[in-house]
């Protein structure tokens, strides 16, 4: 598809907030990768605005844009030409500073230029950097470490029990590795079970929250710490119920070029 120019748009801004039916932070980053490519082809300046989300307290301030309306650009189609036509139709109606939320998958290969732009927009504050380092010190991490990310589903955040065996069968082979492993999960019950079975694993026992619905900066602090832990791991292995994977671990790894492997466990 040939991208048409839109002279009525001054700047297009992907906005991550709490009050627009949005999804997780990883999904938001995925949408940034999608739109940064499309808008560059059109010659439209692109930016990111996280100032309306609680996580902003843990990310260095960036520009806050006037935002009367946030247009949803989330085509739920697998056909690429249809997806691009959908996005094109939204941009055609836009004027001025166009604020939107997009979680669409990238439509072209991701470049190092794209990665560097997005990294610069989500730099951790000094307090967050110190908190990440304090966590590593507390856990005894002094060198390379790997992460196992267990995404047990949104129901786990509400206290429901996961299917332990599905995940335990996948995790057991890692128990013999000598390099430190950090276990991150959205299920407190899963972490408690793993702590009993594999006490040598480093397990974050903090109460997990989902970024799309948390409006408390203190509650989301540990989640943002976990996000930045992904960015310095030597390898990340993810296991999830969801066939589409788990954006919370995939996109920081793709953003920072961390080796990443995601496996869907069948229920």
Q: How far apart are CA 200 and CA 249, in angstroms?
A: 22
Residue with tokens 């999830």: 240
Enumerate the domain spans of the chain: 9-121, 126-264
The mean-pLDDT minimum among 45-54, 55-64, 171-180 falls in 171-180
- pLDDT at site 173: 87
Straight-line distance from the first to the last Cα atom of the chain, in angstroms, rounded to the nearest whole number:
39
- Higher pLDDT pick, 156 / 153: 153
Nearest-angstrom CA–CA distance, 201 and 195: 7
Q: Residue 58 and residue 47: Cα distance in Å, rounded? A: 19
Q: What is the mean pLDDT of residues 34-63?
A: 92
Q: Where are the beta strands (DSSP E) in 103-195?
A: 146-151, 181-185
Structure confidence at residue 2 (pLDDT): 44
- For residue 118, is pLDDT > 80? yes
Q: What percent of the chain has a predicted confidence (pLDDT) above 90?
A: 50
| pLDDT tens per residue across span 235-266 | 999 999 887 889 999 999 999 999 999 999 87
| Distance separating alpha carbons of residues 84 and 1, to the nearest angstrom | 8
pLDDT at 1 (0 to 100): 41
pLDDT of 165-185, one tens digit each? 888 888 888 988 889 999 998
- DSSP string for 18-75: SSS----HHHHHHHHHHHHHHHHHHT--EEEE-TTSGGGGGB---PPPP-S--EEE--
Cα dihedral 247, 253, 254, 258, rounded to 10, equals -150
pLDDT, tens digit, 9 for 90 and up, residues 16-32 = 986 655 578 999 999 99
Phi-psi region of 153 (alpha: psi -120 to 50; beta: other; left: phi over 0): left
**pLDDT tens by residue, 185-229:** 888 888 888 899 998 999 988 876 656 665 566 778 999 999 999
Q: What is the DSSP letter of 105?
A: P
- Whether pLDDT at 64 is above 50: yes
Question: Which of 94-108, 142-156, 200-214 shows the lowest mean pLDDT across its residues?
Answer: 200-214
Over the range 156-174, which residues count as b (16 or more CB within 10 Å of their CB) and which as e?
bbeeeebeeeebeeebeee
Question: What is the second-level CATH architecture of the domain 126-264?
Answer: 3-Layer(aba) Sandwich (3.40)
What residues does 61 pair with on adjacent strands? none
Phi, psi of 168, rounded to the nearest 5 degrees: -65, -35
Model pTM? 0.90
E-assigned strand segments in 104-248: 146-151, 181-185, 202-203, 235-240
């Amino acid at each position: 598809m040939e991208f048409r120019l839109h002279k009525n748009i001054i700047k297009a801004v992907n906005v991550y907030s709490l009050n627009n039916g949005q999804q997780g932070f990883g999904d938001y980053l995925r949408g940034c990768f999608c739109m940064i490519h499309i808008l560059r082809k059109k010659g439209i300046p692109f930016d990111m605005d996280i100032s309306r989300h609680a996580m902003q307290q843990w990310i260095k301030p960036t520009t806050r844009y006037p935002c009367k309306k946030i247009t949803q650009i989330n085509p739920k189609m697998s056909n690429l030409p249809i997806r691009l036509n959908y996005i094109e139709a939204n941009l055609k109606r836009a004027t001025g500073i166009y604020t939107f939320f997009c979680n669409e998958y990238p439509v072209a290969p991701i470049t190092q230029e794209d990665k560097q732009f997005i990294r610069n927009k989500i730099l951790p504050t000094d307090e967050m950097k110190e908190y990440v380092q304090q966590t590593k010190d507390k856990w005894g991490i002094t060198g390379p470490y790997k992460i196992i990310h267990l995404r047990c589903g949104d129901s786990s955040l509400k206290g429901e029990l996961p299917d332990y065996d599905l995940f335990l069968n996948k995790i057991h082979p890692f128990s013999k590795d000598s390099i430190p492993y950090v276990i991150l999960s959205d299920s407190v019950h899963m972490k408690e079970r793993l702590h009993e079975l594999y006490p040598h694993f480093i397990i974050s026992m903090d109460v997990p929250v989902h970024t799309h619905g948390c409006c408390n900066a203190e509650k989301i602090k540990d989640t943002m710490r976990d996000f930045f832990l992904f960015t310095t791991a030597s390898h990340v292995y993810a296991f999830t119920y969801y066939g589409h994977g788990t954006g919370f671990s995939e996109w920081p790894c793709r953003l920072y070029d961390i080796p990443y492997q995601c496996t869907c466990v069948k229920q």
